[in-house]
Structure 1
Amino acid sequence: MLCLVLTWIGLLKDFPATMPVPWFSFSAATSIAYSILHFTSKRKKASVEFLFSIALIFAGIINALNLIWLKPVYFPLVISASVFYSWQTVVPLSFLVILLRLKVLFMDKTFLEEIAFSASLLLTAVISSVIFDKFKKEKGKYYTSLKTIKHAAMPETDTESIDDNEAVSHYFASMLKTEEEIKELLMAIKHAVFANSVNFFMPYQNGFMLRCSTEEKSDIIVTGKGIIAECFKTKKAFYSGEINEDISEIGYIKNNKVSSILAVPVMDGYALTGFLTADSSIYHAFSEPVRNTTQMFAAHLARIVERERIYPKLKRDYNGLKILNEESSKLVSLLNLNVIAVKLCEGAEKIASSQAFFFMAAEKQFELIHHTGSISGNKTSFDLKGAFINIAVENRQPIYMADMKDYRASVLPFSAGNICSIFVIPLIYESKLPGLFVMSSEKADFLDTFQIELLRVMCNQAATSIANAKLHTEIEKLATTDGLTGLFNHRVFQEKLSEELKKLSRYSEPSSLILADIDLFKKINDTYGHPTGDLVLKEVSKIIRESIRDIDIPARYGGEEFAAILSRTDSKGAI
C-alpha cells in the first residue's frame, strides 16, 4: 500500500513528466508486485490495489505526454473490471481513479469539467457492475445427463411385487412433495445464512450427484472431485472463507464466483445420506453462528430424507398405504397450521370413519384448532387436566381404548356425544409436544392395528409439518424484523418505500414519510451502558407503534434512527 501511495504522490508532483525513468520504473515494479500477489495469493485480497496500479500507469502516460484527451481511457478500464470483478472492487476503484485527477480538480477552468467526469465515471462503475453481475447469474445453461438423473432418482423397489407402471407411479407420488419440501428448506437456508446458493448432494456410485438446489439444476455442473468429494470420504464438515478458484476445485461448477464454501454432512444415525453446501462470492461469509445454524438445518434435512426412505417401504408392505401417502403428501408442503389441522382430520377420516379433534399446545392449555364432530359450547381453549386424553399428554405415548362404555370420568374436556372408543396421539417433534390429535367413535374397537399404524405415521408427518410451519414463520420474522425493537428492518423498509412510491406515481392520494432519531443516544450508551441504550430503543419503538395506525409501516432505519411510512396521509396528518 505504501508503494501505491508513493507512486500516487509522485504523479501529483508531475514526476512522470519531470522524472519519467525512475517514476515509471517504480510504478511498473509496484504493478508487477501487486499482480503477482493478486493472481497467486490464496487470500486474493489485492484486486483493488492491482487495478489501481494499472490506472496509475495510464495516468502517468497521460501526464508525461500531456495527452489530456486520453483521460476517457478510464471508462473502458472500469467497464472491463466489471466483467471480472464484483461491485465491491469496481466501485472503490472508480473512487481511486478520481483521486488521480485530484491536482486538476480544483483548477477554476476545469473544475466543473472534472466534477462531471468524476460523476460520470462513478455512475459508469455502478451501472456496469449491476449489469454484469446480473449477466453472470443468468448466462450459460448446462444440461446434466438424463441417464444420471433417472438412475439417481429411482428408489430401490421390490421388482417382484410391482410392475414398471406401478414403479413410475410410486416414484412420482413419493418424491414430488419431498422435492418441494427440500427445495423450500434450501431456500429458507439461503435467506437465513445469506448465501448465493445452497445445494444438497447425495452419494451416487463412486462419487456424488446433485439432488436439489436453490438454483436451476442446469446451472450447477458436478465434477465429482475436489472439496465435496473429500467431504464424502471423511464424512466431516468443511468450511473455507478463502476459496481461490484458480487452485482449488470445489466439486461443482457454477456461473458465479465462489469465495466461501460451507459443507455440512447430512447424517441418518451413523450413515451418511448426503452433504448440504452453501456458497457465497464474499470472503469469510459464514460466521460460526451461521455454521451452527446450518448444522441445525442439516439435521432437519436428514429427517426429511429419512422420512422419504421410510414411505416406499411402507407402500411395499401395505397396499392400503395409498391413502396415507395421499394425505401425508398434502401435509408435506403446508406452512399454515390451520390448513395442516384440516388436512390431518380429513385424512384421518378417510382411514377410519370417526370424529377427529386437533389440539395445539398453548402454554399450559390446549387450543382446539379443528374438529369434525359436534361439541357443546363455543370455547376453544381447554385445560386437559381431569380428562382421559391428558394421560397421553403426560406419558407422551399414543393411547387406544377399544371399549370405554364403563369409563365414567370425562374423556374430553367438553361434551362430544357418546364415545365408545378413542385413539389419542400426542404429536412429538424433537422431544417437544406441539399438538394433540384425538379420534373418537360411537362404535367399540373402531380401529385395527394397520389403521393405528397408518394414523401414527401420518401424525408424525403432521408433527414435522407443524415444525416446518413454525420454522418458516420464525425465519420469515427474522428476515423482515429488527431483532431488538420488533420493527421492520432496513431491507423491508426500502421494499415498502419503493412500493409506496410506485403507488404515488399512479394515484393522487398523499403519503408521508417520517424519519426520526434519538438525540444524545451515544451519551446514553457511554454513561449508562449499552443494555440501557437497548431499553431506550425498545421504549421508543413501543411509542412509535402506539402512535401510528395498523396500516402504517414502522421500521428501524439503523442505529438510533427510525422511520415510518404513513399511507394516505398528508403532512398535517403526519404531524
Structure 2
Amino acid sequence: MQFLIEGAFQLKTTELIHYIHSPLVILVSAFVETAPFALILALQPLLHLKELIHSPLNSLLWMGLFLYVPSGVVFFISNRREKAILNLSERLTSLKNEAREQADRAKELDEDTIISSYLSNEGQTGDELARLLDLSKKAVVAEEVHLFLYRAGRLVCYLSTSETAPVPEQEGLIQDILKNREDRMVFSEDKELENTGYLSNEPVRSLIGCALMDGQIPLGVLTAESLRYRAFTERDLEVLKGVTSLIVNALTRQRLMTILKISHTGLNVLHEQSAELTTVLDVDEILNRIVHSVRKLSGASVVLLWKKSASYRVFASKDLKVRLERISVRKINETLLKIVHTNKKAIYFDDLNRHRGAKKLLLPDGFPQAASMFVVPLLLNSRLEGMVIVLSREREGFNQYQRHLIEVYLNQAAESLSKAILHEEVKHLAFTDGLTGLYNHRRFQERLQEELKRAERYEEPLSLILLDIDHFKRINDTYGHPAGDAVLRKLAELIKKTIREIDFPARYGGEEFALIMLKSASKEAKKIAERLRKTAEKTIIKTDAGEISVTLSLGIASYPEDAKTREELIEKADQALYRAKHSGRNRTVLYRG
C-alpha cells in the first residue's frame, strides 16, 4: 500500500498524497509483529531515496521524527498490551483447568484426600473440662470431682474441683476401674473408704468412679466423692457416665482440617466455620451457625429443618423471607423432601423443573422458588434429626466439589450437635427434679430472676402461680409414700400438658409447684390456673395402693401490678395461695382478687 502511495506521489508530485503514507505506517505498526515492523522501518529510506538526495537536512529530520518516533511508540504500547492480554488468557485457561481438575477429584475426598488434626488447643480443652467437672459436681451433689488421666505411663490428677488436687497412688480402686474398664459405685458405712487409689483431703465414704475409654484405649478415670454414706444413686452414676462421654470427646476430638487438591478458598472457609463450632454448646446457636456457614460455602440460600417431636423447627438464611417457624412431618412427606426423610441420604436435584409434573409438591408452602436443590440429612447416631436444604435459582447450581464440601462440613457439625445435645442433657439433669422431671427449686429461682429482668426490659407482664396439693399428707398417711410419689408425677404430667410451651414449670418443694407464666397478666394466668385445677379435679390417679383423686389450691401474683422484685413476687403469690387454702381449698386466688 505504501509503495502504491509513494508511486502516485512520484507521478503526480502532489504533496497531499505524500503526507498520507506517514499516518498509514503509524496505523499499521499497531497491528504487526516485531519482524514485519522492523522490515517496514528498514524500507523507509529506500522509499524516500529521492528526498534523501535532493531535500534539505532539516526536512529529512522532521520527516524521520514524524514517522519513526510515533510508529515506535504505538508499536511498543500495542505490543505490551497484546502480551498482557495473552498472559491473562493463559492464566485464565490454567485456572479453569485447575478448577475443573479439583472439582473432578472431589469424588476422591473420602478415600485419598482427607487428613485429620486437632482443632482445639490444650487451653480450650482445659476450660471445657473445668466446666464439665463443675457441672458434674452440682449434678450429683458431690463434695469434689476429680479427673485422672494417663500421663507418661501413670495416672495423674489432671483436673479437680478441689483447690488441692489429690495424689494418685500406685494401686487401688481407680486403678482397678481403669484396668477392668468397669464403672464402680462404692460406700463405707462406718469409716472412710480405704484404698481408693489416691490420697484425698477428706475422709471419703461414698465414691463413683467411671473409666474414660477411647474405643479400646484407656484414657483415665473420673471420680465423684462425698463425705456422706450412700450419697449417690444409680441416676448419679448415669449422669457421670454421660459426663465421661463428653470428656472423651473433648480429649480425642479430631476434625477434618485439610482437603488436598481442592479450592484453597473453600478449604479456608471450611476450616474457619468448623473451628467456630468446637467451642459452642448451645444447640440453637450451632443450628444458626450451620445455616450461616453452609451459605458461605455454597453462595446459595439455605433452610435447615430440625426435628422436634412430630414436626420440624425451621431455620433459614437471612436472604430468605421464610416466615415458617415449624413444619409438620406430614407436610414434609408431601414433597420431594420425603426422599431424604425416608432414605437418610443426601440427594441433588440439578433441575427441579423436571419434577414439576410429579404428584408430590417440590417444596412445602412458604419455601422460596428454586431451580436446583441439594438436600443433606443431619444424622446423629444414625438417627435422622434434621436436614439442610440448599437452594439455587440456577439449574445445576452446585458442582460436585461444592456438594462434597458441604457434606464434609455437615459431618463435622453433626459431631458438635451430638456434643451439645449431650451437654444439655447433663445440664438438664443438674436442674431437674428427679421425681417429677420438672425443674428444681434452684433453677426456678434463677429463671424467675432472668425472666423478671427480661419483662422489665421489654415492658411485658409476667405472672407467678404457686400451687399446692390439698391434704397431701393425708394421701401419704393413707396410701403410703409410693402412692404419694405417683400423685406428684401425675400432677407434673398434667402441668406439662396444660401450660404453654413458653411457660416454666418447677417443683417448688414437697407437694408445692411453681409456674412462671411469661407474657401473662393476672387474668390470663388465672385462666390457665383454673384449667389446670379443673383438669386435676377430674383426674383419677391409679396407684398400686388404689385410685386417688386430688384437688389443688392456687395463688397468683403478677409483675408489675403486684410486685417488682423476685422476692416480692414469691411472697405475694404465697399469700394468695395461703388465702386459697384457708378459704375452702380447691380454688384459685389472685393476690389482688
> TM-score, with normalisation over the residues of structure 2?
0.53
Q: Which residue of 287, 309, 329 maps to 2:254?
A: 309
Q: Which residue of 326, 344, 349 maps to 2:290?
A: 344
Matched residue, 1:395: 343
Where do 1:20-39 residues align within 5 Å?
none
Mark the CA change 1:561 to 1:302 in structure 2 (over 3 Å): closer, same or farther: closer
Mark the CA change 1:564 to 1:220 in structure 2 (over 3 Å): closer, same or farther: farther
Matched residue, 1:193: 140
- The alpha carbon displacement at 1:558 in A equals 1.9
Matched residue, 1:366: 312
Mark the CA change 1:485 to 1:401 in structure 2 (over 3 Å): closer, same or farther: same
1:313-350 Cα offsets, whole Å, 9 max, x none, are x5799876543343233333334443222211111222
- 3-state DSSP class of the match of 2:185? strand
* Identity rate, percent: 25
Q: Which residue of 370, 383, 386 maps to 1:419?
A: 370
Matched residue, 1:283: 229
Q: What code does the residue aligned with 1:534 have?
A: A
Matched residue, 1:435: 386
Where do 1:149-548 residues align within 5 Å?
173-175=120-122, 177-214=124-161, 219-222=165-168, 225-242=171-188, 248-251=195-198, 253=199, 255-306=201-252, 308-311=253-256, 314=258, 321-375=267-321, 378=324, 380-382=326-328, 383-404=331-352, 406-408=354-356, 409=358, 410-414=361-365, 416-417=367-368, 419-447=370-398, 451-483=402-434, 489-491=440-442, 518-519=470-471, 521-523=473-475, 526-527=478-479, 530-531=482-483, 534-535=486-487, 539=491
Mark the CA change 1:246 to 1:288 in structure 2 (over 3 Å): closer, same or farther: closer
Q: What code does the residue aligned with 1:393 have?
A: H
State the superposition RMSD in angstroms.
Answer: 4.8
Q: What code does the residue aligned with 2:137 have?
A: K
Matched residue, 1:137: none
- The alpha carbon displacement at 1:384 in A equals 0.7
Q: What code does the residue aligned with 2:509 have?
A: Y
- 3-state DSSP class of the match of 2:391? strand
Mark the CA change 1:249 to 1:389 in structure 2 (over 3 Å): closer, same or farther: same
Q: What code does the residue aligned with 1:229 have?
A: Q
Question: Unaligned regions of 5+ residues in structure 1, if any?
Answer: 1-166, 500-510
- The alpha carbon displacement at 1:206 in A equals 1.6
Q: What code does the residue aligned with 1:391 have?
A: I
Partners in 2 of 1:541 and 1:367 — Cα distance? 24
Q: What code does the residue aligned with 1:374 have?
A: L
- The alpha carbon displacement at 1:532 in A equals 7.0
- 3-state DSSP class of the match of 1:522? helix
Mark the CA change 1:444 to 1:175 in structure 2 (over 3 Å): closer, same or farther: farther
Matched residue, 1:84: none
- 3-state DSSP class of the match of 1:437? strand
1:364-399 Cα offsets, whole Å, 9 max, x none, are 332212334435665642421132222111111222
- 3-state DSSP class of the match of 1:219? coil
Matched residue, 1:558: 510
Partners in 1 of 2:259 and 2:170 — Cα distance? 33
Partners in 2 of 1:351 and 1:530 — Cα distance? 57
Mark the CA change 1:545 to 1:173 in structure 2 (over 3 Å): closer, same or farther: closer
| Preserved contact between residue 316 and residue 322 of structure 2 (Cα < 8 Å) | no
Where do 1:72-87 residues align within 5 Å?
none
Question: Unaligned regions of 5+ residues in structure 2, if any?
Answer: 1-115, 451-462, 515-553, 558-562, 577-590
Partners in 2 of 1:400 and 1:543 — Cα distance? 45
Q: What code does the residue aligned with 2:290 have?
A: L
- 3-state DSSP class of the match of 1:387? coil
| Preserved contact between residue 180 and residue 333 of structure 1 (Cα < 8 Å) | no
Matched residue, 2:96: none
- The alpha carbon displacement at 1:229 in A equals 3.4
- 3-state DSSP class of the match of 2:354? coil
Partners in 2 of 1:266 and 1:336 — Cα distance? 24
- Give the structure with the higher percent strand: 2
Q: What code does the residue aligned with 1:456 have?
A: E
More deviation, 204-213/480-489: 480-489
| Preserved contact between residue 358 and residue 369 of structure 1 (Cα < 8 Å) | yes
Mark the CA change 1:332 to 1:492 in structure 2 (over 3 Å): closer, same or farther: same
| Preserved contact between residue 174 and residue 311 of structure 1 (Cα < 8 Å) | no
Where do 1:50-89 residues align within 5 Å?
none
- The alpha carbon displacement at 1:359 in A equals 0.8
Mark the CA change 1:481 to 1:390 in structure 2 (over 3 Å): closer, same or farther: same
- 3-state DSSP class of the match of 2:142? coil
| Preserved contact between residue 374 and residue 390 of structure 2 (Cα < 8 Å) | yes
Q: What code does the residue aligned with 1:298 have?
A: T
Q: What code does the residue aligned with 2:254 have?
A: R
- Give the structure with the higher percent helix: 1
Q: What code does the residue aligned with 1:277 have?
A: T
| Preserved contact between residue 178 and residue 332 of structure 1 (Cα < 8 Å) | no
| Preserved contact between residue 193 and residue 204 of structure 2 (Cα < 8 Å) | no
Partners in 2 of 1:514 and 1:386 — Cα distance? 45
- The alpha carbon displacement at 1:353 in A equals 1.3
Partners in 2 of 1:469 and 1:220 — Cα distance? 30
- The alpha carbon displacement at 1:221 in A equals 4.5
Partners in 2 of 1:276 and 1:235 — Cα distance? 12
Partners in 1 of 2:261 and 2:204 — Cα distance? 46
| Preserved contact between residue 195 and residue 279 of structure 1 (Cα < 8 Å) | yes
